[in-house]
């Protein structure tokens, strides 16, 4: 049977919670440097889907050529934009997404990051097709999301997706699962190729 690609009990994180998404405690448990080491290069074009206030976006931008920071929330994009300006980071292109279409050319992206956002997608078949369109054939896609177990932090259990479900959904959308990276305790990190 085809996997359920129109999941979820989706719940979009409101911009008033931006402060929860960017603080020193989170830097300890989900150090953004760990996802950078070894997976991206200085000449890369990277897309940070659902960038929020820019917890991953700013460190990514310091390590690559260009980051496209996308979000459905204009308020989140404005917070990310202000933080980039405060930190003199000038290589981020901000893209407001209608939750499906991205104003990014086809086959130009070296790496796509979906950090703690996939469980918020309300319908994902079209979004995954769009991510497939923009990724180079040699490109990589990383999904970071919360393990589907009860924890004190993170989204409620009913909003979480198991790593197995995420792998099924991406494989159904023509991505190939490569490996899981065991770098964060509370989150899985799944790596996919385009074909």
Ligand X SMILES: C[S@@+](CC[C@H](N)C(=O)[O-])C[C@H]1O[C@@H](n2cnc3c(N)ncnc32)[C@H](O)[C@@H]1O
* 3-class state of residue 111 by DSSP: strand
Rounded Cα–Cα distance for residues 73 and 77 (Å): 6
Task: Provide the phi-psi class of 70: left if phi over 0, else alpha when psi is between -120 and 50, else beta.
Answer: beta
Q: Is 50 in the site for ligand X (CB under 6 A)?
A: yes
The token pair that represents 194 in the structure block = 């385009």
Q: Binding pattern to ligand X, positions 5-44, x when CB under 6 A?
A: -------xx-------x-----------------------
Judged by CB under 6 A, the chain residues 110 through 139 that form the site for ligand X are 115-117, 120-121, 127
- Alpha-carbon torsion (100, 119, 193, 44), positive or negative: positive
Q: Which of 5, 39, 46, 55 binds ligand X (CB under 6 A)?
A: 55
Question: Smallest gap, in angstroms, from Cβ of residue 1 to ligand X?
Answer: 25
Residues 80, 94: contact at Cβ < 8 Å?
A: yes
Judged by CB under 6 A, the chain residues 171 through 190 that form the site for ligand X are none
Cα-atom radius of gyration of the chain, to the nearest Å?
Answer: 15
Nearer to ligand X, 87 or 138 (CB): 87
Q: Is 99 in the site for ligand X (CB under 6 A)?
A: yes
Applying CB under 6 A, the residues found at the interface with ligand X are 12-13, 21, 49-52, 55-56, 70-73, 76, 97, 99, 115-117, 120-121, 127
């Amino acid at each position: 049977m085809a996997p359920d690609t129109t999941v979820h009990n989706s719940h979009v994180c409101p911009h008033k919670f931006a402060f929860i998404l960017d603080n020193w405690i989170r830097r300890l448990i989900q150090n953004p440097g760990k996802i950078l080491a070894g997976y991206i290069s200085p000449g890369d074009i990277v897309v940070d889907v659902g960038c929020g206030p820019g917890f991953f976006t700013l460190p990514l931008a310091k390590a690559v050529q260009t980051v496209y920071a996308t979000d459905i929330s204009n308020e989140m994009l404005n917070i990310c934009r202000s933080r980039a300006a405060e930190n003199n980071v000038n290589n981020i292109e901000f893209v407001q997404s209608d939750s499906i279409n991205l104003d990014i050319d086809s086959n130009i992206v070296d790496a796509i990051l979906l950090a703690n956002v996939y469980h918020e997608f309300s319908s994902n078949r079209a979004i995954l097709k769009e991510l497939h369109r923009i990724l180079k054939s040699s490109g990589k896609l990383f999904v970071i999301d919360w393990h589907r177990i009860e924890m004190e932090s993170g989204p409620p259990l009913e909003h979480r997706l198991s790593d197995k479900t995420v792998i099924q959904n991406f494989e159904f959308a023509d991505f190939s699962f490569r490996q899981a990276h065991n770098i964060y305790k509370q989150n899985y990190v799944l790596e996919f190729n385009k074909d």
